[in-house]
Amino acid sequence: MRHALVNGSILIDGRFHAGKALLIEGDRIAAILPDADVPADVARRDLGGDRLVPGFIDTQVNGGGGVLFNDAPTVEGIAAIGAAHRRFGTTGFLPTLISDDLSVIRQAVAAVDAAIEAGVPGVLGIHIEGPYLNIERKGIHDGDKIRPLDAEGLEVLSSLKRGRTLVTLAPERTSPDMVRQLVERGVIVAAGHSNGRYEDMIDAVEAGLSGVTHLYNAMSPLGSRKPGIVGAALEQDGVTCGIIVDGHHVSATALKIALRCKPEGTLMLVTDAMPSVGSDADEFMLQGRHILVRDGACTDDAGTLAGSNLDMITAVHNSVAMLDVSIERAIAMASAAPAAFLGLTVETGRIAPGLRADLLQLDAQGAVARSWIGGSY
């Protein structure tokens, strides 16, 4: 079935174009053509002059809609999280499991496999954040769950049959050989919750590590004689860094420095969202700890940040306001950059013929008026 989106301003290759129509066939973008050239027999949806942009991809989604993935590693839990975030422009996401027992990781992997097979909208794979971390930089993670990476863990981390698997680990708590084995099995490896040396990070990059989870947070900082994980992340052009632009996790100045250091396309917006996103709840439980949502931040009773209350459209607008980037670049940081990181550029992340029709209609105020995932809304 074909339909066309007309009378909008479409973001194509980094620029908005008026007077263009987007022709959708099934789940794909069939063509971009002048409004006047849309065939008469094709159903039209008038965008009313709104902007049409690629859907956002969030590689770090702990929860949403009142659901925490660790508590609900099920198809139903994943669907509820995805539905909550779709309201804010996320058309592709990785349900994210923070450090937990291997039995829970197995349940989460099986749930993501089943969700993808069942066609739950937006599910691209899984992000397993821990438990192979450095307890010195554990942040909100439960220290009792943290463990060394062994052969059993390797098997579990690489057991997803469908979609992408992203694993966050501390390079100094494993070996380059383990990183290499994960990458060879198709796992995308990122550094995070690490107190490693610069040299540890470089060894891991050479073994295939390609990402950094929430840059600056929970990792060894850039020092004058010890560059640390942050220094390596900023230096290595081939490493993509997730950033949380919520005004709480990282200062705008630090993020602007990262923007100057990193090649375009290697900084991507993430939310690190918790169950409060898309919910009226201002508190929740996280592995036995009380988390309060206050002034836009999620913290435990000791004041430790516990993920975020951020959604992707807010992250995009925050990037424009706080980092002085254009709306076009901010959108690319939420779409094209994560698509490239996940190896999905031939599927999604941009508006171009042949790609999946994962799209957002943004109204005059920049809010998400409508979304399409695979051509469906």
Q: Is residue 346 part of a domain?
A: no
* H/E segment holding residue 186: none
* Number of independent structural domains in the chain: 2
Tens-place pLDDT, residues 298-356: 999 999 999 999 999 999 999 999 999 999 999 999 999 999 999 999 999 999 999 99
Examine residue 46 and state whether it is found in any structural domain, yes or no: yes
Cα Rg of the chain, angstroms: 20
Q: How many CB atoms lie within 10 A of CB 176?
A: 17
Is the same domain home to 34 and 117?
A: no
**For the residues of 48-104, what is the DSSP string, one character each?**
TT-EEEEPEEEEEE-EETTEETTT--SHHHHHHHHHHHHTTTEEEEEEEEES--HHH
- Written as six digits, the tokens of 6 are 């007309």
Is position 180 within any domain? yes
The domain that holds 41 is classified in CATH as 2.30.40.10
Sequence-distant contacts of 101-105: CB under 8 A, at least 24 apart: 101/145, 102/152, 102/153, 102/156, 104/70, 104/73, 105/156, 105/157
Please indicate if the annotation marks 193 as binding a ligand: yes
Domain containing 323: what range? 56-341
Is residue 225 a known part of a binding site? yes
Q: Which of 272, 280, 300, 301 is catalytic?
A: 272
How far apart are the C-alpha atoms of 321 and 110, rounded to whole Å? Answer: 40
Angle between helices 176-184 and 198-206 (to 10 degrees): 30
d(CA 337, CA 124): 15
Same domain flag for 18 and 153: no
What's the confidence (pLDDT) of residue 290?
Answer: 97
pLDDT at 237: 98
Within 8 A by CB and 6+ apart from 362, the residues are 50, 51, 52, 53, 368, 369
Together in a domain, 82 and 35: no
Q: Please state, in angstroms and rounded to a whole number, the distance separating the CA atoms of residues 269 and 317.
A: 11
Residue 305 marked in a binding site:
yes
pLDDT, position 1: 79
Q: Is 306 annotated as a binding residue?
A: yes
Query: Is 128 contained in some domain?
Result: yes
What count of other Cβ atoms lies within 10 Å of the Cβ of residue 21? 23
Residues 32 and 118 both lie in one domain = no
Q: Which residues contact 253 (CB under 8 A, 6 or more apart)?
A: none
Q: Consult the annotation and say whether 214 binds a ligand.
A: yes
Whether residues 235 and 312 share a domain: the answer is yes
* 215 within domain boundaries: yes
Strand pairing report for 2-12 and 51-54: parallel
Q: Are residues 137 and 272 in the same domain?
A: yes
Domain assignment present for residue 131? The answer is yes
- Are residue 298 and residue 364 in the same domain, yes or no? no
The backbone torsions φ and ψ at residue 137, rounded to the nearest 5 degrees and listed phi first, read -125, 35
**Whether residue 75 is found in the same domain as residue 118:** yes
Query: Cβ(223)–Cβ(232) under 8 Å?
Result: no
Domain annotation covers residue 377: no
CB 237 within 8 A of CB 263: yes
With a cut of 70, which residues of the chain have pLDDT below it? none
Encoding tokens for residue 154?
Answer: 């390797």
Instruction: Please check whether residues 258 and 360 belong to one and the same domain.
Output: no
Is 347 part of any domain?
no
SS3 234: helix
Assess whether 272 carries a catalytic annotation: yes
Same domain, 362 and 318: no
CATH number, residue 84: 3.20.20.140
Any binding-site annotation on 307? Answer: yes
DSSP string, 126-144: EEEE-SSS-GGG-TTS-GG
Instruction: Check if the beta carbon of residue 315 is closer than 8 Å to that of residue 57.
Output: no
Closest CA to 272 of 59, 124, 57, 61: 61
Q: Are residues 104 and 150 in the same domain?
A: yes
Q: Are residues 105 and 235 in the same domain?
A: yes
| Cβ neighbours around 184 below 10 Å, total | 11
Helix (H, G, I), strand (E, B) or coil at 14: coil
**Model confidence pLDDT, tens digit, residues 157-174:** 999 999 999 999 999 999
